[in-house]
Amino acid sequence: MKIHKVTLLVVDSDDIGAEDIKEVIENQKYPNYCISPSVVTIETEEVDWSDNHPLNMKGWQTFFYRLFARNN
């Protein structure tokens, strides 16, 4: 299975603020076109997926940062 890391540029024309932008993007709510996300980069890594994969568990962020640290 492929895992993609996507970097976005967000134009915050309604002054939503950085903390709330993450929630708006994750919930896919774009009322009145208040933000205009643009994909800046995509990095892809291949993993052997299972229900017990670290990215499918609490604390997944640690594995995520290790996985994509190879590209930096």
**CA separation for the pair 45, 67 (Å, rounded):** 7
Give the DSSP letter string of 12-56: ETT---HHHHHHHHHTT--GGG-EEEEEEEEEEEE----TT-GGG
The domains of the chain are located at 2-69
- The structure tokens 């994509």 sit at 68
- The structure tokens 């967000």 sit at 10
Residue 41: pLDDT above 60? yes
Residue 72: pLDDT above 60? no
Residue 48: pLDDT above 90? yes
Residue 57: pLDDT above 70? yes
Predicted TM-score (pTM) of this structure:
0.69
Residue 71: pLDDT above 60? no
Better pLDDT: 48 or 34:
48
* Count of C-beta atoms within a 10 Å radius of residue 44: 11
